[in-house]
Amino acid sequence: MGVTRRTTMHETGPAAAPRRVTVLGSTGSVGVRTLQLLEGQAERGAFAVEALVANRNAALLAEQARRVGARLAVVADPDAYAELRAALSGTGIEAAAGPGAVVEAARRPADWVMAAIVGAAGLASTLAAIERGCIVALANKEALVCAGALVMQAVRRHGATLLPVDSEHNAIFQVFDRAAPESVERLILTASGGPFRSLPLSAMRAIQPEQALAHPVWSMGAKISVDSATMMNKGLEHIEAAYLFPVPPERIEVLVHPQSIVHSLVGYVDGSVLAQLGTPDMRIPIAHTLAWPRRMAAPTERLDLAKLGSLTFEAPDLLRFPALRLAREALAAGAAVPAILNAANEEAVRLFLERRIGFLAIAEVVEQVLHSLGAPRADALPDLLALDAEARAEAKRFAAAVAA
């Protein structure tokens, strides 16, 4: 599972040096919640912020850096550098910009790195953090989807600790018997089903971006919200789980659970099923990884099962959500097919949000790209990036045909 037991100064008691942290993707939904937790711990002096990285929101990034006293703030978009530098003038906080600066930020001396840059764009910085051998809290599922073998090899080679932040994988991590993995029979990932779980299939072709972004339970960024609406997010999580946990892919299941209270389950050979429950708040899994191997207090709503009254479950509808089937097929095909799946999906989601293709066309475009590119191998990062670009180009081509 990429977990190496590490003893850090953070564990030795109140007088210990603070755990130094870096947040890659600090202005996104996971990054914002991570900073909320860090600010809540400020009086204890348990954490110190080394670097914050954002895409292009220089104003929010500068505000965050000032609030938490970061040493470095980086925008990936060079065009946002002047605004960031001006906003940090006189603070003593270093400013930088560009993709190279993002990777360098990941290499800064931090004990714990939140990898929350969405999509394939977060792969290089995630690998850079892993190569430092630190604790990496992985919120970027695409890193494992695109380059699972590469990432896990790096974890082993550099002695890093990889902790899953996605609520589903974090739930499995919390109840998985790492001392006896052979006792695990199956993994069950839960899914909310998104906003269109009960919408007639005939009505789904007319879905607009605003509808897809209105998730009934979770508050997430645009890309992740659309992935939840198509259930591609659960397909990507299926692939991610196959790399994170020593369980064969055919023994990883998906179960629709609209209340999003049971975040995932682990079934054991004796028939026992262990589950992790909690309110649908990303601060819970973030806090778990931030304080690991201990636990820390988090200002989250406490679960009241009596108030909830009942929890429901159902099998996913693969006709309504073909993206889940496509992800399973990509995992079974192996090679670099999951990377192709991810790139085509990212491009198709972007085109949908720009109203250039319809909702159902997202999965249609992805499937066409998978058939077009086959199952090539890509064993090194440059090869993966080249294949990623090719898959995106193919997605644009097919999307143009669909929209014509």
Q: Which two tokens stand for residue 220?
A: 């997430």
Looking at the structure, tell me whether residues 267 and 347 fall in a common domain: yes
Q: Which two tokens stand for residue 173?
A: 């991590």
Looking at the structure, tell me whether residues 108 and 180 fall in a common domain: no
User: Does any domain span residue 286?
Assistant: no
- Determine contact, residues 391/120, Cβ cutoff 8 Å: no
| Beta-bridge partner residues of 264 | 189, 276
- From 165, 182, 215, give the residue that closes a domain: 165
Q: What is the DSSP pairing of strand 19-24 with strand 72-75?
A: unpaired
User: Does any domain span residue 366?
Assistant: yes
Helix (H) or strand (E) holding 255: strand 252-256
| Domain housing 237 | 170-280+302-403
Strands (E), 279-321: none
User: Does any domain span residue 289?
Assistant: no
Let me know if 372 is exposed, middle or buried by CB neighbors in 10 A (0-12, 13-18, 19+).
middle
User: Does any domain span residue 118?
Assistant: yes
The distance from CA 152 to its chain's CA centroid, rounded to whole angstroms, is: 16
For residue 292, the SS3 value is coil
Q: Which two tokens stand for residue 62?
A: 């500068």
User: Does any domain span residue 4?
Assistant: no
Looking at the structure, tell me whether residues 139 and 28 fall in a common domain: yes
- Determine contact, residues 40/34, Cβ cutoff 8 Å: no
Domain at 116, CATH number: 3.40.50.720
Looking at the structure, tell me whether residues 80 and 160 fall in a common domain: yes
CA gyration radius, the chain? 21
| Beta-bridge partner residues of 23 | 52, 114
Looking at the structure, tell me whether residues 242 and 195 fall in a common domain: yes
Looking at the structure, tell me whether residues 65 and 190 fall in a common domain: no
The pLDDT score that the predictor gives to residue 365 is 97
- Determine contact, residues 266/176, Cβ cutoff 8 Å: yes
**Pick from 4, 3, 60: which is nearest to 243 by CA?**
3
pLDDT in tens, the chain (404 residues): 555 444 333 443 444 689 999 999 999 999 999 999 999 998 888 999 999 999 999 999 999 999 999 999 999 999 999 999 999 999 999 999 999 999 999 999 999 999 999 878 899 999 999 999 999 999 988 899 999 999 999 999 999 999 999 999 999 999 999 999 999 999 999 999 888 888 888 888 899 999 888 866 666 678 888 998 999 999 999 999 999 999 999 999 999 999 999 999 999 999 999 999 999 999 999 999 999 999 999 999 999 999 999 999 999 998 889 999 999 999 999 999 999 999 999 999 999 999 999 999 999 999 999 999 999 999 888 999 999 999 999 999 999 987 76
* Contacts of 67 by beta carbon, 8 Å cutoff, 6+ apart: 35, 39
pTM attached to this predicted model: 0.90
- Give backbone dihedrals phi and psi of 115, rounded to 5 degrees, phi first: -100, 95
CA 258/CA 251 separation, integer angstroms: 22
Looking at the structure, tell me whether residues 145 and 201 fall in a common domain: no
User: Does any domain span residue 3?
Assistant: no
Looking at the structure, tell me whether residues 258 and 118 fall in a common domain: no
Looking at the structure, tell me whether residues 186 and 87 fall in a common domain: no
Domain at 368, CATH number: 1.10.1740.10
User: Does any domain span residue 295?
Assistant: no
- From 165, 197, 223, give the residue that closes a domain: 165
Q: What is the tally of structural domains in the chain?
A: 2
Looking at the structure, tell me whether residues 329 and 206 fall in a common domain: yes
CA 54/CA 332 separation, integer angstroms: 34
Q: What is the DSSP pairing of strand 94-97 with strand 72-75?
A: parallel
> Where would I find the H helices in 137-291?
141-158, 167-175, 209-213, 222-230, 232-244, 283-291
Helix (H) or strand (E) holding 276: strand 273-277
- From 133, 165, 197, give the residue that closes a domain: 165
Looking at the structure, tell me whether residues 202 and 340 fall in a common domain: yes
User: Does any domain span residue 297?
Assistant: no
Q: Which two tokens stand for residue 237?
A: 């999580």
Q: Which two tokens stand for residue 255?
A: 């179960």
Looking at the structure, tell me whether residues 230 and 320 fall in a common domain: yes
Helix (H) or strand (E) holding 87: helix 81-87
